[in-house]
Amino acid sequence: MSETLLQIEDLHVEVEGREILTGLDLIIGKGEIHAIMGPNGSGKSTLAYVLTGRPGYEVTAGKMLYKGEDISPLAPDERAKAGIFLAFQYPTEVPGVSVVNFLRTAYNAIHPEDQKAAMAFRLFLQEKIDLLEIPTELVDRYVNQGFSGGEKKRNEILQMAVLSPELAIMDETDSGLDIDALKHVSGGVNKLAGPEVGIVLITHYQRLLNYIHPDVVHVLMGGRIARSGGFELAEQLEAEGYEGLAKELGLSVQDIEEVAREEGAS
Return d(Cα 155, Cα 134) in angstroms, integer. Answer: 9
Q: What percent of the chain has pLDDT over 90?
A: 75
Strands 198-203 and 167-171: parallel
pLDDT beyond 60 at 251: yes
Return d(Cα 222, Cα 228) in angstroms, integer. Answer: 14
pLDDT beyond 70 at 132: yes
pLDDT beyond 80 at 245: no
Most confident of 7-11, 40-44, 108-112, 206-210: 7-11
pLDDT beyond 50 at 266: no
Query: Does the predicted TM-score (pTM) go above 0.85?
Result: yes
pLDDT beyond 80 at 29: yes
Return d(Cα 33, Cα 96) in angstroms, integer. Answer: 35
Model confidence at 63, pLDDT cuts 50, 70, 90, reads: very high
| Average pLDDT of span 186-194 | 95
- The pLDDT of residue 174 is 87
More confident residue, 253 or 220: 220
Do residues 217 and 205 touch, judged by C-beta distance below 8 A? no
**Amino acid in the structure at residue 29:** G
If you count them, how many residues does the chain have? 266
Q: Which domains does the chain have, with CATH numbers?
A: 4-265 (3.40.50.300)
Return d(Cα 148, Cα 12) in angstroms, integer. Answer: 36
- The pLDDT of residue 177 is 87
